[in-house]
Structure 1
Amino acid sequence: MMRLSPRLTLRSPSLHTKLMLALVILVAIVAGTSAYALVAHERQRRLTALEERATRIADLFSQSLAQPLWNIDLAAINGQLAALAPNPEVAQFTVTAVGYGIVSTAGKAVQPKPADSVVRVRAIEYTPPGDAPREKIGEVRVVLTKAVAEQAISDARRAILAMIAAVVAVLYAATFLLLKRMVRSPINRLEEMVDRIASGDLRARCTVESGDELGRLALRVNVMADRLQESTVSLRASERKYRSIVENALEGIFLLDRNGQLDEANPAMAQLLGYRDVHDLIEAAANAAHKQPFSPEQIATLFEILRKQGEIVGLELQLQRLDGTPIWVQLNARGATDDDGSLRGLEGLLTDMTARKHAVESLRRHRDQLELEVVVRKRTELELLASREELQQLSAHLEAIREEERKHIAMEVHDELGQLLTALKMDLSLLRMQLTPTSAAMQKAEQMRDLVEQTIQIVRNVASHLRPVALNFGLASALEWLAEDFTRHTHIPCHVNVTGSEPTFSDFRATALFRIVQESLTNVARHADASRVDVTLANTEAGVELTIGDDGRGFDMVTARAGYSYGLQGMAERARLIDAKLLIESTPDSGSVVRLFVRDDAVIVT
């Protein structure tokens, strides 16, 4: 026999009570909203009417008081004000004359707050006879209180709320009686029949009294009873099928209680643990003298996991067969509870994974070996990266030494050799002064003088190419000298454009930028076949951008990189040394553009 769950006997508000409560809440919300809207509308209407009255009174006084105020007829003024002052909405009337101040005041002694009053001020103008223009002689101030309107609004609010309360009460009483007759009584009869069916009387049937929702519910309860009868029959068939599945399963299925005793097991479980059949396995587990399938520590661990997680999934355990052979199994289990919900035991499924465990161990050894090799490889890569960093630092150091040596050689050539050639030129000039102009010695002296001039020019060119003197005056000056020298030797126009303020770099960065531009112009002269070159130095808020563009035949970037272009590699290396971004854009027959960007933090602020 089926028994009702204790939770079904708990007292809770009935459906009838819930429906009435919902109706009361709904009606209260609708009524409250409607009342609020009506009161708000009435309040707005009354306040608008009050403001209109204040405007009309102010306009009336501004016209009617013009003549008395012009004649300073205080009696007439006071009479007009006194005519309207008794009105309960009037707080104060004030007439002010130009040059005299307040002429007359009428109204209540206690004035309302500005937020509780309506104020209108109008100018009083007098129209003299003839064509003379209108003249402002004063103004009238009208103050009406909102207290009367607010009191009327409060009365209207109380009347509306009283009416709504009466309507709600009548509606509640009518709805209560209707629901009791049409809903509560049929539901009570349905509850009685459902209790009989729940108690095990599957032959009980509900009487269908109507075609509404309750009638359809009664039909469904009857269908449920029919299906419960069918389910009882199929349940027995399912139990037989379940037993067949358990008996023929390849995995070990068992039921373990909290004391570690095996209540149930299948043949696969007995075979897995080395027993002849299930009977021997359960007897051995019940006998304390025999070795148990699970140790006390394993049992405690299993129930602890089950308590914390609610189930056991994929847990690997090491057990021992009857002959003492160790095996590895994978356990999946869930809790088995009693009718009161307390944990009775553990329903589990064991899968033999000894062979897989051995394979995993083998894979783990191979993995450890691979991890060791990876560690060695990473160490080697780190050493290579460190060596590369050292090479880059050495390259930067060698470049700095090379530039410093060029600077030193340029200074030596310019200062020492230049001075000697200048002294030689002066000696030749003195010698020419002592020779006959038409003599052979004079001609030889002229030739020597020309040779000295050529040598001086060569010395200047060598010194300039080793270390341009213009770099001492800034990057822009050095770029202009380089453009002029390029144009003079290649006959290709080269223009330098400087936008923004001229940036100031350290000597190392300025030299690197100069060499990149120099290498770019060398590539243009050798390969581009260009007719024009533009060099742009732009100083922006983000940094300095240096652009070298030509209209030559361009080149294929992929081919250039594959051909190990040392010029491009040198430019890239110089850009890396000064922490600049180098971008080269070129396509065949479309010219080339070299862009060099230096961040703002690399520029020296002067």
Structure 2
Amino acid sequence: MRLSPRLARSLSLHTKLMLALVVLVALVVGTSSYSLVEHERERRLVELEERATRIADLYSRSLAQPLWNVDRGAIDSQLAALAPNPEVAEFTVTAANYGTVSSVKGAPHPDPGDSVVRIRSIEFDPPGAAPLEKIGEIRVVLTKAVAEQAFGRARRVILATMATVLAALYAATFILLKRMVRSPINRLEEMVDRIAGGDLDARCVVESGDELGRLATRVNVMADRLRESTACLRESERKYRSIVENSLEGIFLLDRSGRLNEANAAMAQLLGYDTATELIEAWTHDPDRRPFSPSQTERLFDILNTHGKIAGLELQLHRLDGKPIWAQLNARGVADGAGAPRSLEGLLTDVTVRKRAQENLRRHRDQLELEVGERKRTELELLASREQLRELSAHLEAAREEERKRIAMEIHDELGQLLTALKMDVSLLKMHLADDSVAMRKAAEMRELVEKTIQIVRHVSSHLRPAALNFGLASALEWLAEDFSRHAQIPCYFHMEGAEPSFADPRATAIFRIVQESLTNVARHAGASRVDVTLVSTEAGIELSIRDDGRGFDIAAARAGYSYGLQGMAERARLIDASLHIQSEPDCGSVVRLCVQDDFVTSR
């Protein structure tokens, strides 16, 4: 049984339960009764068939002798013995070659065709060892009508009994459900309606511990939580309203037509209105006074459709008095049922002061960029001039070294030759003078003067251009160490590790001058008792170090004091693409280290 949806909705729970119970009991009882009746019917029919088989077998044996003797009386008496049975429809005895001998019919029935038929042969057993001889047959017909009528009456009785039981059960169940289910449910409905109507203090009475009682308990728990949620919601609404009303930023709700549906006091003050209500109603009286122009509204919703939100958008608005202002807008969309943004809720911040400051900063930045560009151009010119000065300095240094070399060669070759010739002439002159004469003494003095002049010439020539440079850097540094020890009275030792390097003449001269300047500084300022000059040649290049055990000095103070000796050494190192490092601390001595890469070194 299936009710229509409309009828099912109109029925109460009590009626639905009763209908379900009636249908369930009817199905169970009817199915059980039908099964029992059908089972009994099948059993009775099987017994009827077995009875017909037994009767046929009995008559086939008992009628053999009377049929052999053709004793009709005996045959009729045996058939008549079972004929009164209401289930007997027909007994017929047929003799072989004679036809029907006897036939007995029972009471007529409505459906004589619905019967059980059994036919058995009647055989005579002659005396002796003769075989059995078929002398006729017995036909037994039993009707099923009696059993069917009995089962029909039983069905009617069962249906009547079932109807009575269902009626009694329906009445009892109706009363019990009304008292145990319907009344508590009605009371639950009443309490739920009161809670839904806003009476959050209403509570259901828990009358039992069954499902309805547990449901009442859950309804009470729901009411408690609903009251707490409502209190929290009201508190949240109060806080939200307080935040909106006291916010320093304008808060608004804008629809697609450009109408403001909601706004706070800060929004009204930002646009020059006294109250938010006046701002919202201004659009109704004069559409031209809307806070956002139609193009601005369309642009806002286009951005919202594209990005899903608006963040940090700056736009220009106009106050009620027509004064333009700049505002920064942050907003999100409020979607309709189809998911498209139907309105826009956001925050509006006045950034007019910041915008003006940015404009001022932009102007200052542009001006600063112009000044920086001019300064960079000037710096580039200064760098170019400094590079030119360095090139000129390098050229002058090379020319000076070349001039020193030329002067040293001329002094050594020409002046040296003249002084040597003069010395020889003085020696020849002494040979022609008397030993104790005044002229002899004067010639001896002249010869000493010539000797001193030759030594001075050699000294000047060596300082202008050491002749040892012609034999390599190592020889020149060794000579320089010996010369320093002789003149400065400070022991100076030269050490060389690895193969002797070979440099071009300008580079070798620059290295020699750096070492010479370092030794000069040691002699003037260090107060050292020992100096070591070490030349180390490796695959990466050479490393030349000048180490003393003097008093040391403050490098930063020396550079700040414009030490021309250090500057000259650094400039010479730069000109030959070498790196110069100076390490020194007061009372700890000094180390000057010069490193030249192997691109400029050729080992001998």
State if a TM-score over 0.5 links the two structures: yes
2:499 — aligned with what?
501
Distance 1:518 1:241, change over 3 A: closer
1:492 is matched with which residue? Answer: 490
Whole-angstrom CA distance in 1 between matches of 2:274 and 2:529: 100
Correspondence for 2:568: 570
Structure 1 residue 466, shift from structure 2 partner? 0.2
**What residue is the counterpart of 1:410 in the other structure?**
408
- Cα gap change, 1:499/1:352 in structure 2, threshold over 3 Å: closer, same or farther? same
Task: Give the equivalent residue in structure 2 for 1:527.
Answer: 525
One of 577, 580, 589 as aligned partner of 2:578: 580
Q: Which structure 2 residues correspond to residues 335-350 of structure 1 after superposition, within 5 A?
A: 335-350=333-348
Kindly provide the CA deviation profile for residues 478-525 of structure 1, in whole angstroms up to 9, marking residues without a partner as x: 011111212222333222111011112222221111111112222222
| Distance apart, 1:529 and its partner CA | 3.3
Quote the offset at 1:363 in angstroms: 4.0
Structure 2 CA distance for aligned equivalents of residues 245 and 538 of structure 1: 79
2:578 and 2:550 mapped to 1: Cα distance?
26
One-letter amino acid of the structure 1 residue matched with residue 532 of structure 2 = D
After superposition, the Cα gap between the structure-2 partners of 1:284 and 1:597, relative to the gap in structure 1 and judged at 3 Å, is: same
Q: Describe the shift of the 1:256–1:446 C-alpha distance in structure 2 as closer, same or farther (beyond 3 A).
A: same
User: What do residues 541-596 of structure 1 show as CA deviations (whole Å, max 9, x unaligned)?
Assistant: 33211111223333444554454433233222222222222222333443332222
Cα distance in 1, alignment partners of residues 204 and 481 from structure 2: 110
Instruction: State the identity %.
Output: 72
Give me the whole-angstrom Cα distance separating, in 2, the residues matched to 1:530 and 1:443: 45
Aligned equivalents of 1:328, 1:539: Cα separation in 2: 73
What one-letter code is carried by the residue in structure 2 that aligns with 1:327? I
* 1:77-476 aligned within 5 A: 226-236=224-234, 238-239=236-237, 242-243=240-241, 245-247=243-245, 249-275=247-273, 277-279=275-277, 281-285=279-283, 290-436=288-434, 439-476=437-474
Q: How far 1:537 sits from its partner (Å)?
A: 0.5
Alpha-carbon contact 1:580-1:597 (below 8 Å) kept: yes
> Which residue number in structure 1 is paired with residue 515 of structure 2?
517
Question: Residue in 2 aligned with 1:591?
Answer: 589
Deviation at 1:426, TM superposition (A): 3.3
Count of aligned residue pairs for this structure pair:
397
SS of 1:290's equivalent in the other structure is: helix
Q: What is the CA deviation profile of residues 358-409 of structure 1, one whole-angstrom value per residue up to 9, with x for unaligned ones?
A: 3443344344444444444444444443333333333222222211111111
Relative to structure 1, is the Cα distance of residues 336 and 549 closer, same or farther in structure 2, using a 3 angstrom cutoff? same
Do the aligned residues in 2 keep the contact of 1:284 with 1:290 (CA within 8 Å)? Answer: no
User: CA 1:304–1:491 in 2, change beyond 3 Å: closer, same or farther?
Assistant: same
The corresponding residue for 2:72 is: none
Q: Distance in 2 between matches of 1:352 and 1:474?
A: 80
Q: 1:256 to 1:532 in 2, by over 3 A?
A: same
Tell me which amino acid in the other structure corresponds to 1:450.
E
Secondary structure in 2 aligned to 1:531? Answer: coil
In 1, Cα distance between equivalents of 2:474 and 2:435? 47
- Deviation string 1:171-215 (CA, Å, 9 cap, x unpaired) is xxxxxxxxxxxxxxxxxxxxxxxxxx9xx999999xxx9xxxxxx
The 1-side partners of 2:219 and 2:483 are apart by 106
Q: What is the DSSP-based 3-state SS (H/G/I as helix, E as strand, rest coil) of the residue aligned with 1:305?
A: helix
Return closer, same or farther for 1:575/1:220 CA change in 2, 3 Å cut-off.
farther
- Match among 551, 554, 565 for residue 549 of structure 2: 551
The 1:555/1:281 distance shift into structure 2, 3 A limit, reads: closer
Q: CA deviation at 1:433?
A: 4.5
For structure 1, which runs of at least 5 residues remain unmatched after alignment? 1-196, 210-218
Please give the secondary structure, in 1, of the residue aligned with 2:547: strand
SS in 1 for 2:521: helix
Matched position secondary structure for 1:336: strand
Distance 1:254 1:343 in 2: 15
| TM-score w.r.t. length of structure 2 | 0.58
The structure with the largest alpha-carbon Rg is 2
Instruction: Evaluate the alpha carbon distance shift between residue 456 and residue 346 of structure 1 in structure 2; reply closer, same or farther with a 3 A threshold.
Output: same
Displacement, 1:599?
2.3
The CA deviation at 1:538 is 0.5
- CA contact 1:262–1:286 (8 Å) conserved in 2: no
In 2, Cα distance between the equivalents of 1:340 and 1:224? 32
Letter in 2 for 1:530: A
Instruction: Look up the equivalent residue of 2:470 and give its one-letter code.
Output: N
RMSD: 3.5
Q: Cα distance, 1:309 vs. partner?
A: 3.6
Where 2:501 maps in the other structure, the secondary structure is: coil
Distance 1:527 1:272, change over 3 A: closer
Query: Hey, what's the Cα distance between the residues in 1 that align with 2:223 and 2:601?
Result: 90
Structure 2 regions of 5+ residues with no counterpart?
1-191, 210-216
Match of 2:481 in 1: 483
Contact 2:251 2:346 (8 Å CA) reproduced: yes
Take 2:600 and 2:283, find their aligned partners in 1: how far apart are those partners? 81
Deviations 1:432-478 (A, max 9, x none): 45455555444443333332222222211111110011111111010
Task: Confirm whether residue 540 of structure 1 aligns to residue 538 of structure 2.
Answer: yes
Distance (Å, rounded) in 2 between the aligned partners of 1:337 and 1:286: 24
Query: Quick check: 1:536–1:547 contact (8 Å CA) kept in 2?
Result: yes
